[in-house]
Amino acid sequence: MIKKVFSATLFIFSTITYSFSQNQEQERWVDSVFNVLDLEQRIGQLFMMPVYSGGNEKHFQIVERQIEKNHIGGLIFMQGSPTRQIDLTNRFQTSSSVPLLIAMDMEWGAGMRLDSTINFPKQMALGAIENDSLVYAMGAEIAREMKILGVHMNFAPVADINTNPENLVIGVRSFGSNKKQVTSKAIAYMKGLQENGVLSCAKHFPGHGDTRQDSHLTLPLIDHNKKRLDTLELYPFKKLIYAGTSAIMTAHVQIPAIDSKKNTPATLSPKVIHDILRKELKYEGLIITDALNMKAVSDHYSNGEAELLALQAGNDILLFSENVPEAIKLIKKNLLKKKINKQQFEESVKRILRAKFKAGLNQWDSLNNENINLKLNRPGTELLKHKLVEKSITVLNNPDSLLPISTLDNKTFASLSIGPSGEFTKYLDKYAFFSHYVKEGGDNDLLYRQLRNYDVVVVGLFDLDKTQGINGVTQEMLQLFDRLNNETKLIFSLFDSPYNLKGLDRFDHLICAFDNSEHTQKLVPSAIFGGIATNGRIPVNISKNINFGQGADTPSLSRLTFSTPEGASMDSRVLQKIDDIAHEAITDKATPGCQVMVVRNGKIVFDKSYGYYTYDSIKPVDDYTIYDIASITKVLSTMQAVMFLEERGVIDLDKKISVYLPELRGTNKEHMIIRDILTHQAGLWPYLPFWKRTLEDSFLAGGLYKGYPESGFNYQVSEGLFTTEAMQDSVWQWVKNSKLRDKINKRPYDYKYSDMGYYLLKKMIEKMINQPMNEFLQQNFYDPMGLTTLSYLPLCNFPLSRIAPTERDDYFRNTLVYGMVHDQGAALCGGVAGHAGLFSSAIDLAKMMQMHLQDGTYGGVRFFQPGTIERFTQKQYETNRRGIGWDKPAVGDWNGPTSEFSSPKTFGHTGFTGTAVWADPEFNLIFVFLSNRIHPDANNSKLIKNNIRTRIQDVIYESIWSYEQRFDSY
């Protein structure tokens, strides 16, 4: 115990000693610099002038002259590019005899000012987030970016309490309307900056939150008494001062209760700056004026006069002077005439020098701009932005718990977009089938008639014109919404300022996303359908019906959502290697196009389409492209029904199939065990070309095919080719009587992949369920899961233009197989078979596999009993890699179906058309690959020979290992 006390005491003593030593070094440096400066050089330190890195050389030369001639102390960088800013910083620092203090307005990150960089959400969105640690993390990340750019001070956080919804200059730049919430967020942001080496600057003292005028254009009036100001507006600044903010920026607002002198903004008022900020609040840090070129100041004061008054009021740094030489001349004149307090002036200069020391400018080194975009836009930055957006999404009203929407089957959905919706509707489509409408003026009656019959209508409001109606919500809109609200369920998604909710406050289901960005467009649909939970709280008072702190928690339903690779502990930079492999496949003509999707921990982290539908490069592949998934049908169709029946005791896998299909008695399949059929070791012949039989006998062919549909010929085989019910009987007889493989020394059959068992299994399933298998699957799995594309017979639901073509068949169907199943046997069955016939997009396959990784649940619905999927996906025999129906990794075989890095628990399947789905429970990982490699020639095996799918899967595992070595998550 004595040792612990001694150690703690020693640590405290060491810390105090180090701090004292640092202060001594700081003061030595400050004094040494101050003492060599003449009066004009000291005055120059007070000025911080703007630099536009996007400007021209003439502009840069003007700045350089101000540095060399007028000895200005700092620069504020404005719009431009990161590389040019770094180059200019090096240039200007070299030109200056005293290192320059560099500042920026980076309230929401580098993207606020610089191109090719990331924007974080604005402060009002952050105000909706419950967890302040995320705000701290944003401050820390912005500090990291600023240090790369050579910037020492961020003019943030905004500490104004936005109590006026009509505030034009602050608005969504504020954390909100509650003083304690604004304060806690501002301190978190400030600490994130300062604890990571960047000076913060709280603004705009004494508070700019209750104004209607824009101080860029005029001088706003705050007509509150001192008591109100002291208890509300000043509250965050007091706490920030106590917490140690490096600087405070003053506001261009007139406050008669403190200073009644006409046209005197707080910035120029000694009563505000000296009496309140310095004396009453005892603030010793830097005080910085807001930009002195703003009309609130420049309309009332001539060149140099505002700068003089600002200095006399107690400000240290004079920002954005309109005429630096005149201002310096006037300040010097008044110093010599002793109209400026000399001690106060010298303290201001020394405060600036101390700030420079704290910024490390006593040992300035030139900046490196190599790989600047990679440094600024690291994957972790994008992940942090994603988390901030996700946690800010706020569901205000949800009285009947409609959100998140759990039941998808037997519901119809539509969207109505008002304003530029971006990708919002595309992401709605990923959860359910939507019809999309756009309001562009026009006929309300027509929209009403179109939308009234849907069960749910999602209204997206984007970038509203705030000059119209109630904060952008017009009477015309409200009339339409009111009429629809009586007929259907409306869900309003606002991608704009929360103040625009005022016109919608009488409606039940309101979601606020705060701005219109790629991230909000992805995540709001996810919130609507339970891909993510929400717990945001509205940070401002909107109306009588919407008050600060309002919000409804909504749960996750464990549906797929969207994130960055780093959000699932994967390295995005490694995943980029997939691009090269996919492009190689397309260039080599292994396939005309493909889709790759990667899901980990329930998050889609990679989703890309490559190439075209065909080699003529006319129609590019996209998210909506639907592929023939061939033998994946076995596991996502037949096996779903088999598992369904087995877990209910309707079938026993260790019984003979003839128990359930008595018509097999007396055939060579009578004694086949179902488990052996499903593991491909029942001795069935691998493949039999039944289609040839139908062509070898011309008489038979004439009775089985027609070139057009007519009575009795309702099964379409291909374009211009229809068959009869008798074909189904013929195929079944051929299957029943098909030959078996020869046994070797009468030993049990070994593993040999075969399609034949799935003809038997489909027959058994349909007998047990007394329903066509495709209808059963649609009703019990595909529709309830919101699988909008996974189905048989895609042309019944989708235009041909959405479906990738397969083979140009010149031996059977004599046409391009397009929109109908490629497999000839499945085609003879009218497109619905146990081994082939399903079509799908990538996301629907991912949903099915996610349900399997989640032990049979998805979207809050249980589809299989616990343990069923694990039993079926386990390896069944030592000498056979297969699970029950499911394919598995081939351990030790470099030419196996999966990456050698996949775990033994992995399960999935591949398809002849060039498709694959794999789920790895060990890594909670899903890989989906879709292609039409058999277009136009089914003999094209380059995709397989070049190991395209497996190499992509290798990259996926590499990205997991790389992340563990390189990245720390936020």
Known catalytic residues? 290
Q: Token pair 């004694």 is at which residue?
A: 671
CB contact at 8 A, 731 and 829: yes
> 10 Å Cβ neighbour count for 411?
15
Tokens for 302? Answer: 């001539």
Strand partners, 839: 628, 791
Task: Give the 3-state DSSP-derived string for 773-816, with helices as H, strands as E and coil as C.
Answer: HHHHHHHHHHCCCCCCCCECCHHHCCCHHHECCCCEECCCCCEE
Report how far residue 755's alpha carbon sits from residue 321's, in angstroms, rounded to the nearest whole number: 81
Handedness of CA 58, 59, 62, 63 (dihedral sign): negative
Report how far residue 283's alpha carbon sits from residue 276's, in angstroms, rounded to the nearest whole number: 9
Q: Which candidate, 242, 336, 251, places its Cα nearest to that of 284?
A: 242
> 10 Å Cβ neighbour count for 23?
12
Residue type, 8: A
In three-state secondary structure terms, 923 is coil
CB contact at 8 A, 100 and 75: yes
Give exposure, 198-227, as e/b (b: 16+ Cβ within 10 Å): bbbbbbbbbbbbbbebbbeeebbebebeee
Q: Max alpha carbon distance in the chain (Å)?
A: 121
Report how far residue 637's alpha carbon sits from residue 679's, in angstroms, rounded to the nearest whole number: 16
Report how far residue 98's alpha carbon sits from residue 46's, in angstroms, rounded to the nearest whole number: 12
Strand partners, 438: 417
CB contact at 8 A, 249 and 289: yes
CB contact at 8 A, 199 and 153: yes
Strand partners, 74: 48, 101
Strand 47-51 relative to strand 318-319, pairing: parallel
Report how far residue 437's alpha carbon sits from residue 456's, in angstroms, rounded to the nearest whole number: 13
Q: Is 261 exposed, middle or buried (0-12, 13-18, 19+ CB in 10 A)?
A: exposed
Q: Which candidate, 525, 838, 83, 60, places its Cα nearest to that of 75?
A: 60
Report how far residue 720's alpha carbon sits from residue 705's, in angstroms, rounded to the nearest whole number: 10
Tokens for 251? Answer: 């506001």
In three-state secondary structure terms, 907 is strand
Strand 456-462 relative to strand 489-495, pairing: parallel
Q: Which run of H or of E encompasses 458?
A: strand 456-462
Q: Which candidate, 85, 186, 81, places its Cα nearest to that of 139?
A: 186
What's the gap between Cα 614 and its chain centre?
Answer: 31
